[in-house]
C-alpha cells in the first residue's frame, strides 16, 4: 500500500477505516460555487445589457455641431482698430473692429451739402409757386371783372343804338309830318294870295296864311336839325358798340393772360414737386452715406467666441471678404444612424450623449428632427443606382439631437463644434 492510500483512509470514531475526500473533487466544487456566484452577480448586469441592447440604438458616427458665422465687411476699407483677439468671448453688439472712416465722413458731408442745396431750391420753388398763384388769381379776377364790364358795355351800347334808331325813325316821321304841314301851308298861302288880290278875303286871312307858312317852314327846319341830331346820336351809339366790343376783346386778352399765368403757376408747381423729389433723393443719399459710415464699425451679431481671425490692423479688406469667425454658444449633435437603426428613432425620443472630451459624463438630450434625405443625397455627386453598377451600401441618416436646457450647465466653455460624441437613443 502506498503512502497516498494510507493517507486516504482514516479511522472513524469506531476504529473502522473510511475513504477521505479527494482534493481534486473539492476544487471542482469550489469552481462550481464560484461560477454560480459569478453568474448570480453578472445576471443583473447581463439583464441590463440585454435590455439596453433591445431598447436602444447607438452610434459613434456623431459630432457636436454649431453655427460658425463668417464676419465680413459691407464696405471696402482699411482696418484701423481691432478690438478682439483669438478665442475671446463677445456679447451681441460688441465692437469687433473698425475701418478707417475718413472717406465715408467726406461722403456724408457732401450728401449733407447736397441735401441743404435741394432744400433751399425747394423753398425758392415753393415761394415762386405762391407768388405766381397770387398773381394768377388777381389777373383772373381782373379779367373776369373786365370781361363782365365789357359784356355789359356791349349790351348797353347796343341798347343805345336801338334807342337811337328809334329816335331817328321818330324824327323822320315827325319831319314827314311837318313837311306835309309845310306843303299844305304853302298851298294855302298861294290860294290866299290869289284870293287876296281878287279881294275875296280880308288881309287878315292872308296874314294868317303867311304866318302858318313861316311857322311850318321853321318846323321843317327844326325837325331836320332834330333828325340830324338823332342820326348823330345813332352814329355815336354805333361807335359805342364798336368801343364796347373792342373793350370786350381786350378783356378776353386779359383773360388769356390770366390763363397763361395760371399755366405758368402749374409749371412752377411741377417744378416745386420736382424739387421735393430732389430733396427726397438727397435725403436718401445722406442716409446711404450715413449707413456706409456706420458699416465701418463692425459689431458682433450674436454672443459667442471669436476664431479664425484673418486680419490685422492696417489690412485692406473688401466687401464679403471673411475677416474672422464667430461661433455662437448654441450647440447640438448631428448623429448619422444607419438606415437599419432608424426604426423607433423619432422626434421626442430621449437620448444619452457621451462626449470623448469628458469621459464618464452623460448629457441628457432628445431627438429634435430627422434629415429629409440621407447624407449621400446631399453629396456633390449623389449616387445614381440606375447607371448599371449598383452596389448596395447601408445609408446613413443624419439626426439632429438637442441637449436639454440644463444639461450643459458648467460645461459651456469646454464644448465646441466638431467634437466626437457617442449617442444612445431610447427607441422602445
Please state which CATH class domain 104-294 belongs to: mainly alpha
Residue 4, pLDDT score: 46
At residue 1, the pLDDT reads 44
Predicted pLDDT at 26: 74
Cβ-proximal residues to 90 (8 Å cutoff; 6+ apart), any chain: 84, 96, 300, 303, 304, 305, 306, 326
**pLDDT at position 46, please?**
59
The domain spans of the chain are 104-294
HEC assignment per residue over the chain: CCHHHHHHEEECCCCCEEECCCHHHHHHHHHHHHHHHHHHHHHHHHHHHHHHHHHEEEEEEEEEEECCEEEEECCCEEEEEECCCCCCEECCCCEEEEECCHHHHHHHHHHHHHHHHHHHHHHHHHHHHHHHHHHHHHHHHHHHHHHHHHHHHHHHHHHHHHHHHHHHHHHHHHHHHHHHHHHHHHHHHHHHHHHHHHCCCCHHHHHHHHHHHHHHHHHHHHHHHHHHHHHHHHHHHHHHHHHHHHHHHHHHHHHHHHHHHHHHHHHHHHHHHHHHHHHHHHHHHHHHHHHHHHCCEEECCCCEEEECCCCCCCCEECECCEEEEEEECCEEEEEEEEHHHCCCCCCCCEEEEEECCCCCCEEEEEEEEECCCCHHHHCCCCCCHHHCCCCCCCCEEEEEEEECCCCCCCCCCCCCCCCEEEEEEECC
pLDDT at 2: 44
pLDDT along the chain (428 residues), means of 10: 46 50 70 76 61 74 93 94 92 94 94 91 79 67 67 74 80 83 81 79 79 83 82 80 74 66 72 84 92 94 91 92 92 93 90 92 94 87 73 89 91 89 89
pLDDT at 402: 95
Amino acid at each position: 500500500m502506498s503512502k497516498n492510500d494510507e493517507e486516504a483512509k482514516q479511522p472513524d470514531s469506531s476504529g473502522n477505516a473510511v475513504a477521505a475526500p479527494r482534493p481534486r473533487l473539492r476544487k471542482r466544487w469550489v469552481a462550481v460555487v464560484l461560477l454560480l456566484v459569478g453568474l448570480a452577480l453578472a445576471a443583473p448586469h447581463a439583464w441590463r445589457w440585454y435590455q439596453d441592447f433591445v431598447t436602444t440604438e447607438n452610434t459613434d458616427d456623431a459630432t457636436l455641431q454649431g453655427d460658425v458665422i463668417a464676419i465680413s465687411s459691407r464696405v471696402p476699407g482699411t482696418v484701423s482698430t481691432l478690438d478682439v483677439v483669438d478665442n475671446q468671448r463677445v456679447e451681441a453688439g460688441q465692437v469687433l473692429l473698425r475701418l478707417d472712416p475718413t472717406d465715408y465722413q467726406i461722403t456724408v458731408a457732401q450728401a449733407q451739402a447736397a441735401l441743404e442745396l435741394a432744400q433751399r431750391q425747394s423753398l425758392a420753388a415753393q415761394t415762386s409757386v405762391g407768388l405766381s398763384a397770387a398773381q394768377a388769381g388777381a389777373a383772373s379776377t381782373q379779367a373776369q371783372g373786365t370781361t363782365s364790364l365789357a359784356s355789359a358795355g356791349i349790351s348797353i351800347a347796343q341798347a343805345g343804338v336801338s334807342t337811337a334808331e328809334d329816335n331817328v325813325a321818330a324824327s323822320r316821321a315827325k319831319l314827314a309830318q311837318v313837311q306835309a304841314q309845310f306843303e299844305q301851308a304853302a298851298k294855302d298861302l298861294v290860294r290866299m294870295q290869289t284870293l287876296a288880290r281878287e279881294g275875296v278875303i280880308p288881309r287878315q286871312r292872308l296874314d294868317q296864311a303867311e304866318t302858318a307858312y313861316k311857322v311850318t317852314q321853321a318846323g321843317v327846319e327844326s325837325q331836320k336839325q332834330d333828325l340830324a341830331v338823332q342820326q348823330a346820336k345813332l352814329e355815336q351809339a354805333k361807335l359805342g358798340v364798336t368801343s364796347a366790343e373792342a373793350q370786350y376783346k381786350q378783356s378776353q386778352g386779359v383773360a388769356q393772360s390770366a390763363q397763361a399765368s395760371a399755366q405758368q403757376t402749374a409749371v412752377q408747381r411741377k417744378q416745386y414737386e420736382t424739387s421735393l423729389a430732389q430733396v427726397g433723393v438727397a435725403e436718401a443719399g445722406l442716409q446711404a452715406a450715413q449707413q456706409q459710415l456706420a458699416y465701418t464699425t463692425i459689431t458682433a451679431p450674436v454672443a459667442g467666441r471669436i476664431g479664425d481671425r484673418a486680419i490685422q490692423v492696417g489690412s485692406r479688406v473688401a466687401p464679403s471678404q471673411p475677416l474672422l469667425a464667430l461661433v455662437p454658444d448654441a450647440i447640438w449633435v448631428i448623429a448619422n444612424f444607419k438606415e437599419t437603426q432608424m426604426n423607433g428613432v423619432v422626434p421626442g425620443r430621449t437620448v444619452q450623449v457621451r462626449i470623448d472630451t469628458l469621459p464618464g459624463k452623460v448629457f441628457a438630450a432628445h431627438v429634435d428632427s430627422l434629415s429629409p434625405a440621407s447624407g449621400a443625397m446631399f453629396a456633390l455627386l449623389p449616387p445614381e443606382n440606375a447607371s448599371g453598377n449598383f452596389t448596395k451600401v447601408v445609408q446613413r441618416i443624419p439626426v439632429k439631437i438637442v441637449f436639454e436646457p440644463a444639461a450643459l450647465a458648467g460645461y459651456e466653455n469646454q464644448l465646441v463644434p466638431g467634437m466626437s460624441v457617442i449617442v444612445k437613443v431610447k427607441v422602445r
